[in-house]
A and B are shown apart, each in its own frame.
Chain A
Amino acid sequence: MNNQLTKKKIDSATILSAVIVVCLYVAVFIAEQLIAPTSMLFTVLKKGATYALVAVSMNLCNGFTGIFSLGQAGFMLLGAYTYGILTLPVAERVNVYQYYGGGLVQFTLPWFVAMLLGGLVAALFAFLIGLPVLRLKSDYLAIATLGFAEIIRAIFQWDKLGPITNGSNMLRLFPNFNDFNIRGADGQVTVYLSTLVPLLIAGACIGIIVMLINSTFGRALKAIRDDEIAAEAMGIRLASHKRLAFCISSFFAGIGGAMLAMYQSTVQAKGFTTAMTYEILLIVVIGGIGSVTGSCISSFLFVAASEWWLRFLDQKQMIGGFEVPLLRNGFRLVVFSIIIMIVVLFFRQGIMGTRELPDLFRGRRKAKGGAKS
């Protein structure tokens, strides 16, 4: 903490981390041009980017501020619906809102505007719900935010709001990740960007969150997490800091929700259940509560393991004419849950603890220095 008080200078570890991140992006760009777009790798990267953003936003609340919020699915739903409703092409509205006469909204916004609005709507609701809820303590707050997410889910399925939300029916046909590909005159894709752009969006948002965490505001949040009373005594305004952190976290959860809508290319309120929040919370825990890098790594690991690497557990496998027992539909999730329980019980620090990417290089160098002397 000492070097943060002295004049900030960019050390080599930070530069090295930045170089690694840039290299990863370049690698993804090259891979996308060379490998067939149907490869599982890209599915994982797209969904991973979405989950990484949501996990980091949850970490901002739960890990850095100590507000144990379980409303993430609700805020994602708000973002996803705002995005879906506002970007749906006018010509398609008649088909999508077939039970509601084409719906009320009869204009289309560019995707980034709709995405930003999705975030803002989520933040607005976070502000409103924060008024009563943020006064509560840890587990009461958790259950109240969880309840809020359920209320939102019910409201969006209400038949009377059908002209706007399409009731309990699906929203579809809005622009998704594949529309980021640049197409030539003949309709053939010339440059594949459908994976890179989501990664860039998530990266930009996470970058903003990191800058926020490293600012005065971020340090105030950490102080609140470590000891509310001491923080208050040091002159940090608890209520406004908590509210702002909650709103910012929800803003990015909303953007994450919009990305999820783009990834799935459909939105339905019934999908944004408590189970989704739990999943994201478990990602945060596996990565390490209080580490942005950890959340990102574990999002990609979680998605890759559940969508790709552990898929074989769901099918019957033969090894040399011997059928491996237990393997059938659902076994993947059982193995997965057991891994999660082991992490929760025995590796409570998660993958990264509270360290970040640059800390890894710093730590290594410090250890080397120690060995020399």
Chain B
Amino acid sequence: MWNTVFPYVLSGISVGGQYALIAIGYTMVYGILRLINFAHGDVFMVAGIVMVYMAASGMPLWLCIPLVLVATALVGFIIERVAYKPLRSAPRMSAMISAIGVSYTLQNLVLYITGGLNQLYPTIPWISDSVTIFGATTKMVTIVTPVLTVILVVALVMLINHTKIGMAMRAVSRDFETSQLMGIKINSVISATFVIGTFLAGVASLLYFTNYTTVIQTSGAMPGLKAFVAAVFGGIGSIPGAVVGAFIIGIAENIIKGLDIILFKAGIISGPMGLATFSDAFTFALLIVILAVKPTGLFGEKTTDKV
């Protein structure tokens, strides 16, 4: 029984770590701007495409990886400056529509550049190697991801709790206007948030596409949405919440992918049920349930509406 379930749990933990890195970008931006950055998943995809093109240009991989991360952070910075900054005083719906517009634009831009074909992701040595743990064969990236995720999250939490920019971020997310009055440069804080968020999405793309090996213009949409669900599930605005939520969703999703086989081996069902179709749907069902039961998520702060 355990031998059947374990590989799915393992890949669930791996995917969960990747979702966590994306989810942090969502949750930080939401915490500060109260904006669902629908384009975040597409930034993640763009990071993958940039990597494909950089590796194809013959650049050595050890140079590609940092450059991809920098380029991704730059994309995030530019998007914020061009598409969200002009709408800072506009109704929240406008900013969200702008985010959808950015997502549409990025997808079409990549469609134009790649011609809409699947791009083969370059093989990064070491993390693409096969390993066997507890009888399950998998790629090295499966083990690297959760470790790297935890390291990055701890670093991020330290940054937020113990540095000046982190304090500024906390202040801005608590009260936008007052922190501005206190002399915090809102725009640079917001830019820093976007840079950190997209940088982590870039790391996630390195890990994720090493696993899935191809990139296409739509491959950012689903991971993006799921990461967002993870952020909501954990309580939006809370970084540990996003990480926990992402791991839960990653594991649940992968177990459902293998549910047919697991149930079959356990003797509960006698034939294939095609339950794997629901691996994506389950995430959203979870979202609707958590929103109906506890809208603030697992670790979310309670908010009160002021009239």
Q: Is the CB of A132 within 8 A of B104?
A: no
For A255-296 the 0/1 string (1 means CB < 8 A from B) is: 000000000000000000011001101100100010000000
Q: Which chain B residues lie closer than 8 Å to A279 at the CB level?
A: 104
Residues A138 and B225 in contact, CB atoms below 8 Å apart: no
Smallest Cβ-Cβ distance to A337: which chain B residue: B105
Q: Are B284 and A150 closer than 8 Å at their CB atoms?
A: yes
When C-beta atoms are compared, the residue in chain B nearest to A326 turns out to be B112
Q: How far does the alpha carbon of A139 sit from the alpha carbon of B27 in the complex, in Å?
A: 13
Q: Does A148 contact B (CB under 8 A)?
A: yes
A5 contacts the other chain (CB 8 A): no
Q: How far is the CB of B265 from chain A (nearest CB, A)?
A: 20
Contact A68 B291 (CB under 8 A): no
Q: Please state if A160 and B273 are interface contacts (CB–CB under 8 Å).
A: yes
Range, interface on chain A: 35 or more
Q: Chain B residues near A274: list those with CB within 8 A.
A: 221, 225
Q: Is A140 an interface residue (CB 8 A)?
A: yes
Given contacts A68-B93, A329-B115, A336-B108, contact A142 B281 (CB under 8 A): no
* Residue pair A136, B93 in contact (C-beta under 8 Å): no
Q: How far is the CB of B215 from chain A (nearest CB, A)?
A: 16
- Alpha-carbon distance between A220 and B76 when the two chains are bound, in angstroms: 41
User: Is B232's CB under 8 angstroms from A146's CB?
Assistant: no
Question: In the complex, what residues of A have CB within 8 A of residue B232's CB?
Answer: 140, 143
In the assembled complex, the CB of B134 is this many whole angstroms from the nearest CB of chain A, namely: 31
* Beta-carbon contact of B96 and A159 below 8 Å: no
Find out whether the CB atom of A151 lies under 8 angstroms from the CB atom of B228. no
The winner among B104, B111, B115, B221 for most chain A CB atoms within 10 A is B104
Could you tell me if B100 and A341 are in contact, using CB atoms closer than 8 angstroms? no
A127, chain B: closest CB distance, angstroms: 15
Do B97 and A136 touch (CB < 8 A)? no
Q: Is the CB of A278 within 8 A of B104?
A: yes
Does B3 lie at the interface of the complex (its beta carbon under 8 Å from any beta carbon of A)?
A: no
Judge whether B32 is part of the interface by a CB distance below 8 angstroms.
no
B119 CB contacts on chain A under 8 angstroms = none
Nearest A residue to B283, CB-CB: A147
Whole-angstrom CA separation of A147 from B82 in the bound complex: 28
**Chain B 256-307 residues near chain A, CB threshold 8 A:** 272-274, 277-278, 280-281, 283-285, 287-288, 291-292, 295, 307
Using A229-B307, A330-B115 as known contacts, say yes or no to A158 and B291 having CB atoms under 8 A apart: no
Complex alpha-carbon distance, A334 and B106, angstroms: 9
Kindly list chain B residues whose C-beta atoms are within 8 Å of the C-beta of A150. 225, 280-281, 284
Residues on B close to A: CB < 8 A?
A: 34-36, 82-83, 86-87, 90, 92-94, 96-98, 100-105, 107-109, 111-112, 115-116, 218, 221, 225, 228-229, 232, 272-274, 277-278, 280-281, 283-285, 287-288, 291-292, 295, 307
Some 17 contacts from A to B, beta carbons below 8 A apart, are A136-B295, A140-B291, A147-B229, A147-B283, A150-B281, A151-B281, A154-B277, A155-B281, A160-B274, A275-B218, A329-B116, A331-B112, A336-B108, A337-B104, A337-B108, A341-B83, A341-B102
